[in-house]
Structure 1
């Protein structure tokens, strides 16, 4: 597994992640079903997301996959509180070609500085090195123990189903 920087306890500097305008994840509390809003995608991007979601693992970082709403959403969730993956999110508005990424098993994840530095905050890394873009909402509960493991476990499926995205350092 290749790690250039950790998303758990911070050792590096990240940059701006996506705004919430493209996809809103509604998590009303523990044991509620995560909701993933549908987004407008090209036919090719929708097909890539559908094949990715169908191929995602039944467990992630030791947590079982759970239902999301709607059932045919372009995403998946694991655990309670849930890791929530959403496929087809928009490019972050403040992305610059000199952006730094956390490279985990060959996938470049883009994260804001405040999310890297405050382990008490939820984090939302975006896989910018692949398209369509995928984000994973990571509850603060998993920041010190499971975030890098979870992103590494997702990498093979992401690399298999998604195309080349943006470059980041």
Structure 2
């Protein structure tokens, strides 16, 4: 079949492809999905196993937002919604977790508390939003919640998966 008869004379064969590329560039198209990104932790093998168990137990929705995992793909990270709620399993212990001012409630930027049987360190982030890190679990699980998101709903939705997959104890 001769495709050139369907093209006006004088129009190069590559012009439709070039037009599509330019249209995508102008419209903000991307070949990759617009997933959030998250640094993948590098925990011990024992912690990786706990994190893989957590990944399998995580809910498909958190605070009404569907799961949309960040890039690069990893069983140690998960995400929901846009702007993204990001979970990272196997992170390092936050320095403020051992700060006596936090334990005594004197640090306004970091507060300890519990939600549905999971203890958390809550830290206010520069630019808004919060970072929560589990305490008294065999792996540290960090959850970042963007400004304007109901953080209590997020922690309630994640509590049962964390309790199921990451036993209580002191992380390495």
TM-score (structure 2 length as normaliser): 0.67
Hey, what's the Cα distance between the residues in 2 that align with 1:46 and 1:141?
Answer: 31
Seen in structure 2, the aligned counterparts of structure 1 residues 161 and 73 have a Cα distance that, compared at 3 Å, is: closer
When the two chains are superposed, the root-mean-square deviation of aligned CA atoms in Å is 2.2
CA contact (8 A) 2:41 2:88 kept: no
The yes-or-no answer on 1:162 pairing with 2:169 is no
Partners of 2:40 and 2:88 in 1: CA distance = 10
> What is the aligned partner in structure 2 of residue 111 from structure 1?
122
- The 3-state SS of whatever aligns with 1:44 is helix
Alpha-carbon distance in structure 2 between the residues aligned to 1:127 and 1:161: 13
Which shifted more, 43-52 or 157-166?
A: 157-166
Deviation at 1:71, TM superposition (A): 1.9
> Which residue is equivalent to 1:61?
63
Give how far 1:93 is off: 1.8
Structure 1 unmatched ranges of 5 or more: 1-30
Aligned length: 129
1:165–1:36 CA distance, 2 compared to 1 (3 A): farther
1:3 corresponds to which residue? none
Using CA pairs under 8 Å that are at least 6 residues apart, name the structure with larger relative contact order, 1 or 2.
1
Once the two structures are overlaid, the 10-residue window that deviates more, 84-93 or 99-108, is: 99-108
Query: Whole-Å Cα distance in 1 between the matches of residues 169 and 94 of structure 2?
Result: 13
TM-score, reference length from structure 1:
0.68
User: Pairwise mapping of residues 1-169 of structure 1 onto structure 2 (< 5 A)?
Assistant: 32-96=34-98, 99=103, 101-112=112-123, 115=124, 121-142=128-149, 146-165=150-169
Structure 1 residue 50, shift from structure 2 partner: 0.8
Summarize deviations over 1:55-91 as a string: whole Å, max 9, x none: 1111011111113212224111111111101101111
* Unaligned residue ranges in structure 2 (runs of 5+): 1-32, 104-110
Larger radius of gyration: 2
The structure in which a higher percent of residues are helix is 2
